[in-house]
Amino acid sequence: MSQRAKLTPLIIKWFSIRRIQFAVTLLNSPDLDSHVDFPWYLKIKDICGCILLFYILYLFQLYNYTNNELFIKLLNGERAILSQIVTLAESRLPEDQQRINELLALLPPAARSGACRIGITGSPGVGKSSLIDRLGLEFIARGHRPAVLTIDPSSAITGGSILGDKARMPELSKAKEAFIRPSPSLSELGGVNPYTRRSMRLLEAASYDRVIIETVGIGQSETDISDLADMVVYLVQPASGDDLQAIKKGILEYADILVVTKWDGPLEARAEECFRDLSLVMHSGSLAMAEDAVSLVRASVYKPETIALLADHIENKFNVLVNENKLFPARLARESHYFRNHWPQELKALLQSKPEFGIELESLANAVQNGSLSIEKAFQKLIQFIFARC
């Protein structure tokens, strides 16, 4: 049992005693209506204590459940528990990492999930969140339960994130069938964060069968979403460049569906022009993909029929993967690729959890800063330290 779990009963007991003291003092007050003799600062203090009590109860709720109990609640789709488990999955604390790994071990293999995993990506301002708002509602109308993982960029200076993508999904966020979880990128490159895969598995275990992953606004080389999603939907901004952009290498090589967004209003003509350019490039064979493997559609959040058409393309491609028995082998290949590419992140997290590593790292960094050690020598010393001590 973790230290926090051991402290929980003591904290709750202390606050319970404070509540009793408050009630006794209040009852002994000569004027129960105005509470004239009850100091105002004690009222505020006690109100704050009550708020803190509820927060602590919420914070420590997970630590009072066994992993098997959490597993059952997760399968039952309890939203409050699901939110807390996802928070646990994103924690960098070693004890939280250990517990979430134990919980994930109880889940079915990731490759065997029947959910459709959809990656939505594109440049900043292309309209990812607004399109997901309408696409999620379309999935609900078709009898599905969509879940959305939105990745928000983290500041390289402060480390903070606004996590404002959910504000652009006003309708979907009100739907009881949907679940939306904003998460920071944690300054990781690639478009997602290191814990997106874990969160995705938890959502699938909670019976969400359409899992949408919205990446941060990306450029041309952030391709990590292709290791997580069954299909990648790449949104193209009208008037964002000529057809040369369509043949550049990078994320476009992994796209299954190209969507020209904002096909409405003042940009409709430019969107139509962009659509024709992309269509010409695809038919000329310039894209490094088979023509029948890539769909090209127009979309506008103000035109429901375009969102329905996009949903049709997603469903059709997913059904092909299932019917031709390609889904699970493709997922296993992506799992292997993900492992090969991301083991350094796990090693880094393990090393950073060791205090002696942090001390040595800081010492070497200071030596580099004051000019007494070159970067190359510092790397060598750090590697020697890791193999000798960690």
pLDDT at 34: 46
For residue 23, give the nearest of 2, 1, 49, 4 by alpha carbon: 49
- Distance between CA 324 and CA 291 in Å, rounded? 19
CA distance 32 to 200: 53
**Residue 146: closest CA among 26, 315, 340:** 315
- Rounded CA separation 62/46 (Å): 25
Closest CA to 82 of 187, 208, 193: 208
DSSP 216: P
The reported pLDDT for the residue numbered 352 is 84
Cα separations (Å) of 147 from 139, 144, 176, 188, 210?
A: 10, 10, 11, 22, 6
Q: What is the mean pLDDT of each run of 10 residues along the chain (390 residues)?
A: 53 55 53 48 57 57 78 90 91 86 89 91 91 97 96 75 82 95 82 89 95 84 85 88 51 85 92 88 59 82 96 96 94 93 86 90 95 94 88
**DSSP states along 252-290:** GGG-SEEEE---SGGGHHHHHHHHHHHHHHHHTT-SSS-
Strands 210-214 and 146-152: parallel
d(CA 204, CA 210): 8
Tell me the two tokens of residue 280.
Answer: 């010409």
Tokens 């001390």 -> residue: 359
Report the alpha-carbon distance of residue 252 to residue 170 in Å, rounded: 29
**pLDDT of res. 1:** 47
Q: Is 366 exposed, middle or buried (0-12, 13-18, 19+ CB in 10 A)?
A: exposed
Query: Minimal CA–CA distance to 34: which of 47, 22, 46, 43?
Result: 43
